[in-house]
Amino acid sequence: MDHTSQDDVIAGCRTRFMRGGSGSPLVFLHGASGAASWLPFMDQLAEHREIIVPEHPGFGNSDHPDWLDGISDLAYFYLDTFEQLGLVDIDLVGASIGGWLAAEIAIRNSSRLRSLTLVGPAGIHVKGLRKADIFMWSAEETARNLFYDQRFSDEMLAVPLTPEAQMAVLKNKLATAKLAWQPRLYNPDLHKWLHRIDVPTLIVWGQEDKVFPPAYGEHFRSMIPGSRLETIAKCGHLPQVEQADRFATLVSGFIQEVAR
């Protein structure tokens, strides 16, 4: 499916947006690896919605603004973004750090949201549940640990990085460290406020996730009123990539159910 890429200036920050499809807005918030390209699951979701994929401030082709110090800064940035772009009835989908960010947005102000989908989100800490330290992984360890099906890892490792791509990887790592270095990958206060999420919420987890154990999904489900947890078998940390068809079916079905 055709899509566009353009820059908008929001809160003084030049931000890259990819868009495809038409209809009510579905905003996808990416994780630590950024949003450098339009992926197959986006095409699938764009069959019935306008998919809007911003590259977070600090990542990829977006500027790294002076005001970016933590996840709360991004949450308020996106509330400004929704207002500036005139977006309403948003189906907000976030993966990994993007899922954490989506939850931070929703606890602050859900008035422009119609639904929320969290995909293997970071953001909370559960005593006794050990999560991975992604900052300590090499490039090969990252590729191997993100996927259950190692064919995806092989494909990821086989792509040579241009100097531009290497710079983007380093920039993304720096931004991720700003957001999630200390404490590692969570906000100590988030769990106290998840009960404020008052829109229909779907939580999606890969059964073989090596970044955040699937048991984290149950804790999110227990803290978000009325939320639903779906676990995808034979899948690692990136269901939207590794099980794109199943993921798109789950999310599209949920969104259609909410829209009725």
What average pLDDT does range 57-78 have in this prediction?
Answer: 97
Which residue, 238, 234, 14, 35, is CA-closest to 120? 238
Burial class (CB in 10 A: 0-12, 13-18, 19+), 166: exposed
Residues β-bridged to residue 52? 19, 27
Residue 102 scores a pLDDT above 90: yes
Strand 3-10 and strand 113-119: the pairing is: unpaired
CA angle 101, 175, 18 (to 5 degrees): 65
Task: Evaluate if pTM is beyond 0.85.
Answer: yes
Q: How many angstroms separate the CA atoms of 153 and 166, rounded?
A: 18
Which residue, 64, 118, 127, 121, is CA-closest to 91? 118
Q: How many angstroms separate the CA atoms of 221 and 229, rounded?
A: 6
In sequence order, which residues have a C-beta less than 8 Å from that of residue 44 and are 6 or more positions away?
244, 245, 248, 252
Q: Dihedrals φ, ψ of 183, to 5°?
A: -70, 160
H or E stretch including 53?
A: strand 50-54
Q: How many angstroms separate the CA atoms of 94 and 203, rounded?
A: 10
Q: How many angstroms separate the CA atoms of 234 and 218, rounded?
A: 18
The per-residue pLDDT for range 116-174, each reduced to its tens digit, is 999 999 999 999 999 999 999 999 999 999 999 999 999 999 999 899 999 999 999 99
CB 29 within 8 A of CB 92: yes
pLDDT of residue 260: 85
Q: How many angstroms separate the CA atoms of 156 and 25, rounded?
A: 30
Residue 1 scores a pLDDT above 90: no
* Type of residue found at 141: E
For the sheet with 201-206, list strands across it: 3-10, 13-21, 50-54, 25-29, 90-95, 113-119, 201-206, 228-232
pLDDT of residue 223: 98
Q: Return mean pLDDT, the chain.
A: 97
Residue 198 scores a pLDDT above 80: yes
CATH of domain 3-259: 3.40.50.1820
